Amino acid sequence: MRAWSETELLDTFFRDLGARRADVTLGIGDDAALVRTTPGTELVMTTDALVEGEHFLPGADARSLGHRALAINLSDIAAMGAMPSWALLALTLPRVDDTWLRGFADGFGALARAQHVALVGGNLSLGPLTVTVQLTGEVPVGTALRRDGARAGDALYVSGTLGDARAALALQRRQLMAAPPEAAFLRQRAEFPDARLELGSALRGVASACIDISDGLHADLGRVLQASACGAVIDVDSLPLSPALRAVCGADAWQQALAGGEDYELCFTVPAASVPAVARISTRTHTLLARIGSIRQEPGIELRKDDAVIQFSALGYDHFRR
Closer CB to its own copies, 122 or 160, in the complex:
122
Closer CB to its own copies, 182 or 265, in the complex:
265
The least distance separating its own copies from the CB of residue 125, rounded to whole angstroms, comes to 5
Give Cα separations from 99 to 13, 124, 188 (angstroms): 11, 16, 21
How far is 127 from 117, CA to CA, in rounded Å? Answer: 27
Of 63-92, binders to its own copies (CB under 8 A) are: 76-77, 79-80, 82, 86, 88-90, 92
Closer CB to its own copies, 273 or 320, in the complex:
320
159 binds its own copies (CB under 8 A): no
β-strands 83-93, 118-126 pairing: parallel
How far is 312 from 258, CA to CA, in rounded Å? Answer: 9
- The answer to whether 315 and 219 are in contact (CB under 8 A) is yes
Q: Tell me the number of residues near its own copies by CB under 8 A.
A: 72
Q: Identify the CA nearest to 158 among candidates 301, 258, 28, 16.
A: 258
Of 24-63, binders to its own copies (CB under 8 A) are: 25-26, 29-37, 39, 42-49, 51-55
Q: Identify the CA nearest to 182 among candidates 193, 195, 170.
A: 170
122 binds its own copies (CB under 8 A): yes
The least distance separating its own copies from the CB of residue 191, rounded to whole angstroms, comes to 19
Of 179-238, binders to its own copies (CB under 8 A) are: 210-212, 223, 227
Look at phi and psi of residue 144 and say left if phi exceeds 0, alpha if psi is from -120 to 50, else beta.
Answer: beta
Closer CB to its own copies, 192 or 317, in the complex:
317
Closer CB to its own copies, 162 or 236, in the complex:
162
